[in-house]
């Protein structure tokens, strides 16, 4: 069977996600035929359409079974965890966090959200379980809940667009490794999806990297991902956000 024939094959329930490249349109056609016109009411289907690489190795039959017999989805309050309800109501992060996180992680995430709000960096709903704060018309940071791992993570992603302006302050604090170790590295999944071919040589805090993710947004905005930050890490993130805000304000004054 030649490659052209393979590409034209329709998806079936036995198809293993990731066994070949697929477009969202192919998945959408399959789910519509199996689940009907309202296929998009199932959160797991929306997950596959948005990020199928997380389901690599699973069959489409397993995804369909998840729709009809939800496992961890059914344990959550649809009023605040459903993609559609979040989108319609622009759900507040403090209302959603308690449904996913417990103990110290819940407290840390709620405290950080409260800090942002108290300092005029209020988080606004951006996507399913994802919120963002702006400064001077640009994204300052995201906070998201990563449901694709167990236990569930919470992730703070500052955009240190003007990091060169406060490089000296970071190095004086000895935080360079804290930042270097958390920049998004290019993974094989990026290349498999055709999104990233690597950013080439990128200099961050006077250190050259050759494996930073080459997705344009990450490179241009110097986005850093801090997963489940502890108290010390959260304190550093707060200071980094304050430095970035100050740099943006200074940039605006000098224009």
Tracing tokens 């740099």 back to the chain, one arrives at: 247
Clarify whether residues 28 and 101 are in a common domain.
no
Clarify whether residues 166 and 236 are in a common domain.
yes
Residue 3 is predicted with a pLDDT of 46
Collapsed DSSP state (helix, strand, coil) of residue 53: helix
Clarify whether residues 96 and 49 are in a common domain.
no
Flag the least confident range among 45-49, 120-124, 147-151, 213-217.
213-217
Residue 137 is predicted with a pLDDT of 79
Position 120 in a domain: yes
Residue 114 is predicted with a pLDDT of 95
Flag the least confident range among 74-83, 95-104, 228-237.
74-83
Position 211 in a domain: no
Clarify whether residues 10 and 56 are in a common domain.
yes
Supply the angle between the helices 24-35 and 60-68 in degrees, to the nearest 10.
Answer: 50
191 close to 235: Cβ distance less than 8 angstroms: no
Q: Dihedral of CA 82/83/85/91: which sign?
A: positive
Residue 123 is predicted with a pLDDT of 93
160 close to 224: Cβ distance less than 8 angstroms: yes
Clarify whether residues 146 and 31 are in a common domain.
no
Clarify whether residues 230 and 140 are in a common domain.
yes
Residue 192 is predicted with a pLDDT of 57
- The total domain count for the chain is 2
Clarify whether residues 41 and 96 are in a common domain.
no
Position 188 in a domain: no
Token digits for 149?
């791992």
The CATH number assigned to the domain holding 157 equals: 3.90.1150
Which CA distances in Å does 104 have to 17, 107, 193? Answer: 35, 5, 35
Residue 220 is predicted with a pLDDT of 54
Residue 88 is predicted with a pLDDT of 86
Residue among 134, 159, 154, 124 at smallest CA distance from 240: 159
Position 199 in a domain: no
Clarify whether residues 117 and 65 are in a common domain.
no
For the segment 31-75, what is each residue's pLDDT rounded down to a tens digit?
999 888 888 878 778 878 876 766 777 788 888 887 776 554 444
How big is the chain, counted in residues? 255
Q: How many whole angstroms separate alpha carbon 204 and alpha carbon 128?
A: 31
Q: Tell me whether strands 138-146 and 130-135 are parallel, antiparallel or unpaired.
A: antiparallel
Question: Is pLDDT above 70 for 134?
Answer: yes
Q: What is the mean pLDDT of residues 97-119?
A: 93
Report pTM.
0.67
Q: Print the domain residue range for 26.
A: 3-75
Clarify whether residues 99 and 67 are in a common domain.
no
Position 216 in a domain: no
Mean pLDDT of the chain: 81
Position 194 in a domain: no
């Amino acid at each position: 069977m030649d490659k052209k024939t393979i590409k034209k094959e329709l998806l079936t329930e036995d198809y293993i996600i990731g066994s070949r490249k697929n477009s969202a349109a192919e998945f959408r056609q399959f789910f519509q035929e199996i689940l009907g016109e309202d296929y998009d009411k199932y959160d797991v289907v929306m997950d596959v359409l948005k990020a199928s690489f997380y389901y690599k190795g699973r069959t489409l039959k397993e995804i369909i079974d998840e729709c009809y017999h939800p496992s961890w989805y059914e344990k959550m309050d649809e009023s605040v965890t459903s993609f559609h309800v979040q989108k319609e109501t622009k759900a507040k992060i403090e209302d959603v966090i308690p449904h996913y996180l417990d103990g110290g992680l819940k407290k840390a995430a709620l405290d950080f959200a409260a800090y942002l709000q108290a300092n005029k960096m209020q988080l606004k709903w951006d996507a399913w379980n994802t919120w963002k704060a702006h400064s001077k018309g640009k994204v300052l940071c995201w906070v998201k809940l990563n449901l694709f791992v167990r236990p569930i993570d919470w992730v703070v992603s500052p955009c240190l667009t003007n990091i060169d302006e406060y490089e000296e302050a970071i190095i004086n604090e000895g935080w360079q490794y804290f930042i270097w170790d958390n920049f998004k590295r290019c993974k094989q999944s990026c290349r498999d999806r055709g999104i990233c071919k690597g950013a080439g040589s990128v200099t961050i805090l006077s250190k050259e990297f050759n494996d930073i993710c080459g997705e344009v947004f990450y490179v241009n905005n110097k986005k850093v991902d801090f997963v489940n930050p502890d108290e010390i890490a959260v304190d550093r993130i707060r200071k980094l956000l304050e430095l970035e805000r100050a740099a943006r304000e200074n940039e605006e004054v000098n224009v």
